Amino acid sequence: MTAQDCLFCKIVAGDIPSTIVYEDEKIIAIKDIQPVAPVHLLIMPRKHIISLNEVDEKDINLLGHIQLIAASLARENNIAANGYRLLCNNGAGGGQEVLHLHYHLLGGRNLEWPPG
Ligand code: 5GP
Ligand code: ZN
């Protein structure tokens, strides 16, 4: 899949509507269209990276930035105190459906372990 065909690149570009809850020059965070928890956000880089299989040292700042913003969004959404989950599905076997790196921020209910 090329960036031109990528659903999340289209969301980043504003060609497909989404509810953006945070954005800066590096990343955006949107509400998941089919939430599986009371808080379900997707945090993604603006640039097209397929998965963690494609990252290298030049992406360290980007990946660290995503985690700091995730923690800040957890506080803003009042899920920090009870607890939340930040996860990144990688590849078909990891449950990744949209091939543009993204992190799920889930909270607002007690999450089970192990995942399915
Ligand atoms: P994955 O399985 O790739 O880790 O997660 C993809 C996520 O993207 C799913 O939770 C799915 O509900 C969400 N999603 C798919 N299409 C759209 C869309 O058009 N808009 C938004 N906001 N979320 C989407
Ligand atoms: Zn993309």
Q: Does ligand 1 come within 6 angstroms of the Cβ of 28?
A: no
112 in a structural domain? no
Report pTM: 0.98
Q: Is residue 115 part of a domain?
A: no
Asked whether residue 24 is assigned to any structural domain, the reply reads: yes
The count of structural domains within the chain is: 1
pLDDT tens string 57-97: 999 999 999 999 999 999 999 999 999 999 999 999 999 99
Q: How many C-beta neighbours within 10 Å does residue 2 have?
A: 7
CA pair distance 4, 29, nearest whole angstrom: 20
Q: State if residue 90 touches ligand 1 by the CB under 6 angstroms criterion.
A: no
Residue 88's CATH number:
3.30.428.10
Q: What is the pLDDT of residues 40-55, one digit of tens each?
A: 999 999 999 999 999 9
**Tell me, what DSSP letter sits at residue 80?**
T
Question: For 14-26, what is each residue's pLDDT tens digit?
Answer: 999 999 999 999 9
Domain that holds residue 35: 3-107
Which band of pLDDT confidence, cut at 50, 70 and 90, is reported for residue 2? confident
Comparing CA positions, the residue from 71, 31, 23 lying closest to residue 12 is 23
Residue 70 has phi, psi (to 5 degrees) of -60, -45
**Nearest residue by C-alpha to atom 4 in ligand 1:** 96
Give the Å distance between the CA of 3 and the centre of ligand 2: 5
Structure tokens at 98: 């949209």
How many angstroms does the Cα of residue 105 sit away from the middle of ligand 2?
19
pLDDT at 106 over 90: yes
Judge whether 76 lies within some domain: yes
